[in-house]
Amino acid sequence: MNKEIYLDVLKHQVLPFMAENNIAIFMQDNARCHTSKLTKWWLYQQIFLTMKWPAYSPDLNSIEHSWARIKACLHKKKGHITKYLELEKEIRKLWSEVDCVILEKLFQSMPRRMAAVIDAKDGSIRY
């Protein structure tokens, strides 16, 4: 993903989702498309806050657990998906099957994750 595609996702998917669900803080890691000047400038202009994410931090993004499950399912289909559009269709299908209860539990674990990082003082954590 490059900065232009990422910005398009932010504008047309993330922003409407945040508005519809009354979400005030946006979280992302330090992927290059997330830290581009273009992306930073656009995020600066928005009404929601963007959580600061230190470089080389432990991966605290709870959504990674869902992505890990999706990747595991995709890995089982290795060789059966040969085209980009097939991959996109399969990812969308798998994402739609993610249980919202699991996502809520992951979201609720965030304070514990943050406390664990602070307690670990640059050490690894169990998440």
**Side chain identity at residue 119, one-letter code:** D
Mean pLDDT of the chain: 85
Q: Looking at residue 57, what is its pLDDT?
A: 67
pTM above 0.85, yes or no: no
Do 5 and 33 contact (CB within 8 A), yes or no?
A: yes
- CA 109, 29, 94, 101: dihedral to nearest 10 degrees? 20
Do 58 and 117 contact (CB within 8 A), yes or no?
A: yes
Buried b (16+ CB within 10 A) or exposed e, 81-94: eeeeeeeeebbeeb
Q: What pLDDT band is residue 51 in, cutting at 50, 70 and 90?
A: confident
